[in-house]
């Protein structure tokens, strides 16, 4: 009698993915959770942190745990857009031009130190991130079904960097912040790295097909009209802060676009799915609001001068928008 092997449900595979990444990144559980939410929500992420805080390692750990391709692009001031998208090359044998694909044609694209390249190079990612395609010489080329840009930048280095324009920032579903690990986590990190140098490379724990299946299930997660109203009210508070709290109007220079509402909806549905529910509640929205909104709110000079962070502004928004 033949025995059949049962395929684990997507939730179990995603848990295995989370465990696999946490084995490589010590003390950054919140960042790992947010990376997985962005992956399930079909979003791109901007990872910010000081040098040496494992930004690149976090991306590599996730990519190596998924049976998918990772391409790394090291951004530099002398880059050209074609270094990302690819270009047409003349074939001497066929006497014709043929398109040579650039590193953006991958499942995971690590855009390392993205703010070191000028705006025309950064904008080469815009079409890819927004439309999952690349256009060269009037011809469009589709990107893979599983396509995710994970960009890193250092917050303190200003010389030789080019701030990302608002249109580019808005294409990222989330901005993740990596901070220093605790003393206990750093000790575990040292022990892990010593053991890692003697161990064999890990194997993927989930396939692209499993992730795409999870995404289809997330699309079916129910969102009530009341939760929709709550999402839009939170975003509206960033645009018309005087309606909600007088201090907010002094801190916010420009609010979030409708992409923020879309991003909150998608991230909240992924959060509900991870919790094993088929509906979204307001707690799901609040769990993801900081990484979704922090890069979409422009702080005023008053907020910057008084060291009021974007996260503090978001906390104030949440406190003054009525819960459903």
> Which of these, 231, 211, 228, lies nearest to 288 by C-alpha position?
231
DSSP 171: T
Asked if the structure places residue 159 within a domain, the reply is yes
Pairing of strands 252-254, 298-299: antiparallel
Q: Which class for 298: exposed (0-12), middle (13-18), buried (19 or more C-beta within 10 A)?
A: middle
| Distance between CA atoms of residues 161 and 121, nearest Å | 13
Pairing of strands 45-49, 148-153: parallel
* Complete DSSP assignment for 12-70: HHHHHHHHHHHHHSTT-HHHHHHHHHHHHTT--EEEEE-TTSSHHHHHHHHHHHEES-E
Q: Are residues 247 and 167 in the same domain?
A: no
| Distance between CA atoms of residues 312 and 318, nearest Å | 10
- The shares of helix, strand and coil residues in the chain, as percent rounded to the nearest 5, are 50, 20, 35
Asked if the structure places residue 9 within a domain, the reply is no
| Distance between CA atoms of residues 30 and 77, nearest Å | 32
The structure's pTM equals 0.89
Q: Are residues 28 and 143 in the same domain?
A: yes
Asked if the structure places residue 251 within a domain, the reply is yes
Q: Are residues 170 and 253 in the same domain?
A: no
Cβ-proximal residues to 88 (8 Å cutoff; 6+ apart), any chain: 97, 98, 99, 100, 136, 137
Asked if the structure places residue 115 within a domain, the reply is yes
Asked if 234 contacts 322 with a C-beta cutoff of 8 angstroms, the reply is no
Asked if 170 contacts 128 with a C-beta cutoff of 8 angstroms, the reply is no
Asked if the structure places residue 255 within a domain, the reply is yes
Task: Work out how many domains the chain is built from and give that number.
Answer: 2
Q: What is the mean pLDDT of residues 58-80?
A: 91
Q: Are residues 99 and 141 in the same domain?
A: yes
| Distance between CA atoms of residues 15 and 17, nearest Å | 5
Q: Using the 3D structure, point to which of 177, 208, 239 is the last residue of a domain.
A: 208
Q: Using the 3D structure, point to which of 184, 208, 232 is the last residue of a domain.
A: 208
Mutual angle of helices 258-274 and 10-24, in 10-degree steps: 100
- Work out the percent of the chain whose per-residue pLDDT is above 70: 93
Task: Compare 189 and 248 and report the one with higher pLDDT.
Answer: 248
| Distance between CA atoms of residues 78 and 160, nearest Å | 11
33-66 tens-digit pLDDT: 999 999 999 999 999 988 777 888 888 889 999 9
Q: Are residues 28 and 127 in the same domain?
A: yes
Q: Are residues 45 and 184 in the same domain?
A: yes
Average pLDDT, whole number, for the chain? 88
The whole domain housing 132 covers 24-193+204-208
Q: Residue 4 has what pLDDT?
A: 47
Q: Are residues 239 and 295 in the same domain?
A: yes
Q: Are residues 257 and 140 in the same domain?
A: no
| Distance between CA atoms of residues 295 and 114, nearest Å | 15
CA distances from 193 to 27, 197, 206, 239 (A): 14, 6, 24, 46
Domain of 105, CATH number, reads 3.40.50.300
Asked if 274 contacts 323 with a C-beta cutoff of 8 angstroms, the reply is no
Q: Are residues 74 and 169 in the same domain?
A: yes
Asked if the structure places residue 82 within a domain, the reply is yes
Asked if 162 contacts 121 with a C-beta cutoff of 8 angstroms, the reply is no
Q: Using the 3D structure, point to which of 208, 239, 264 is the last residue of a domain.
A: 208
Q: Residue 202 has what pLDDT?
A: 63
Q: Are residues 103 and 231 in the same domain?
A: no
When mean pLDDT is compared across 93-107, 156-170, 244-258, the lowest value belongs to: 156-170
pLDDT at 275 over 60: yes
> Which of these, 228, 213, 177, lies nearest to 11 by C-alpha position?
213
Q: Are residues 252 and 314 in the same domain?
A: yes
Cβ-proximal residues to 158 (8 Å cutoff; 6+ apart), any chain: none
Q: Which class for 4: exposed (0-12), middle (13-18), buried (19 or more C-beta within 10 A)?
A: exposed
Domain of 273, CATH number, reads 1.10.8.80
Task: Compare 124 and 109 and report the one with higher pLDDT.
Answer: 109
208-245 tens-digit pLDDT: 999 999 999 999 999 999 999 999 999 999 999 999 98
Asked if the structure places residue 66 within a domain, the reply is yes
Q: Are residues 159 and 34 in the same domain?
A: yes
């Amino acid at each position: 009698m033949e025995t059949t092997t049962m395929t684990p449900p997507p939730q179990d595979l995603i848990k295995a993915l989370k465990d696999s990444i946490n084995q490589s990144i010590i003390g950054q559980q919140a960042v790992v959770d947010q990376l997985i939410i962005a992956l399930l929500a079909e979003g791109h992420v901007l990872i910010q942190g000081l040098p040496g805080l494992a930004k690149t390692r976090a991306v590599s750990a996730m990519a190596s745990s998924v049976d998918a391709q990772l391409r790394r692009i090291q951004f530099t001031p002398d880059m050209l857009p074609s270094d990302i998208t690819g270009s047409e090359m003349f074939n001497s044998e066929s006497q014709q031009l043929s398109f040579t694909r650039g590193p953006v044609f991958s499942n995971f694209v690590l855009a390392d130190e993205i703010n070191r390249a000028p705006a025309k190079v950064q904008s080469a990612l815009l079409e890819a991130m927004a439309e999952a395609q690349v256009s060269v010489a009037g011809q469009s080329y589709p990107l893979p079904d599983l396509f995710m840009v994970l960009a890193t930048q250092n917050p303190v280095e200003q010389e030789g960097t080019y701030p990302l324009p608002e249109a580019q920032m808005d294409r990222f579903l989330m901005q993740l912040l990596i901070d220093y690990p605790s003393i206990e986590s750093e000790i575990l990190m040292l022990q892990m790295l010593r053991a890692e140098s003697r161990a064999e490379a890990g194997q993927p724990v989930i396939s692209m097909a499993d992730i795409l299946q999870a995404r289809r299930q997330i699309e079916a997660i129910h969102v009530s009209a009341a939760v929709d109203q709550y999402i839009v009210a939170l975003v509206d508070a960033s645009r018309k802060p005087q309606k909600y709290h007088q201090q907010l109007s002094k801190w916010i220079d420009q609010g979030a676009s409708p992409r923020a509402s879309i991003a909150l909806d998608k991230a909240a549905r992924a959060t509900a799915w991870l919790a094993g529910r088929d509906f979204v509640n307001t707690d799901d929205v609040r769990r993801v609001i900081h990484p979704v909104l922090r890069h979409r709110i422009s702080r005023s000079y008053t907020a910057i001068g008084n060291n009021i962070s974007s996260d503090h502004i978001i906390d104030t928004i949440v406190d003054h928008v009525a819960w459903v």
